[in-house]
Structure formats: structure tokens, C-alpha cells
Amino acid sequence: MARKPKVFVWSDGFHAWTVAASSRAKAAEAWGFERDPFLGGAAREITHGEDYAAALADPGVSIKRGLAVDIGQVERAPRPKPVKPEAPTGPSQADRDRVATLVDELAALEKTQAESAADLDRRRAALDREAADLHQMHAKALAALKTRLKAAQDRLAQA
């Protein structure tokens, strides 16, 4: 035997919603709540009132009555739409792929730059060797020329 439904009501100050349900959880579900509206006192059970009989006549359907807006107007409130799960909040696969591509590009650029720097260092070392060889060659040629000049001057002085 099914349990006799109880009647529950909650209000946002503008409208009052009444529903007949077998439990508080079923009432909260009929209103579309994700959290228990009874815990904070927003919803309560009633045993009489304007919409009590209408709610019992159609259990599970929420009755909406205007309190401050559409005063006195009574209508069946539409069933709440099922709550869709939230979209994932993390990065998308496209974002992860983009980052991976950029990381690869960065690594390739750093490798190219390191190779270019190494090539410049090799060329600089070769130029330094060439400059040292040139300096040494000039030094030898200068010493030889000075020796010959001194000898020529000495012969001139003896004559």
C-alpha cells in the first residue's frame, strides 16, 4: 500500500509553490532543488491552506500561487528540467595539444640556437688561431727585418 502523500510548501516572497509528495526529498525534487530546502526553513509541511486540496488532487505536480507578483493567480508550475552535469572545467584536449606543440617548437628553437652558438664559437676559435698565427708571423718577419737592418746599418757605419 502506497503512503499517503504529505503536502509541502515553499515561497520566495513573490510566489508560493505547493506540492504533494511522499517525502521531503520527493518534494525538493519536484521543485528542482539540489539542496534540502527544509534544512534552512525555506520549505515546510502544511496540513491545510488554499492550495492543499489542489496539491493532493495531483501529487508530484507543483502548484504555483502569486503572492507579490500575479497576486492570487494559481497555475501548475512546469516540471523542472533535469539538471545537466556541468561541463568539464579542465583544459580541453585542443588546449593540451596546443601546449605540447609549443613545447616542441620551443625545444627545437633552443636546439637550433645552441647549434648556431656552437658554430659561432668554432668559427671564433678558428679566427683567434688565425689571428695568433698572423701575429706570430708578423713578429718573426719584424724580428728578421730588424736583424737585417741592424746588420746593414753596422756595415754602413764601418765603411
Q: Say how many CA atoms lie within 13 Å of 126 toward its Cβ.
A: 6
Mind listing the pLDDT tens digit for each residue in 102-114?
999 999 999 999 9
Mind listing the pLDDT tens digit for each residue in 16-27?
889 999 888 888
Checking if the pLDDT of 86 tops 80, the result is no
H helices present in 44-92, as ranges: 52-57
Comparing 85 with 75, the larger pLDDT belongs to 75
Sign of CA dihedral 66, 56, 80, 45: positive
pLDDT of residue 84: 58
List, in sequence order, every residue forming a beta bridge with 66; answer none if it has no partner. 15, 71
Checking if the pLDDT of 8 tops 70, the result is yes
pLDDT of residue 67: 78
Nearest to 69 by CA among 15, 11, 12, 10: 15
Comparing 145 with 81, the larger pLDDT belongs to 145
Measure Cα distances from 53 to 43, 59, 92, 108, 117 in Å: 18, 10, 52, 76, 88
Measure Cα distances from 39 to 34, 35, 44, 48, 49 in Å: 12, 9, 9, 21, 22
Say if residues 20 and 51 touch (Cβ distance below 8 Å): no
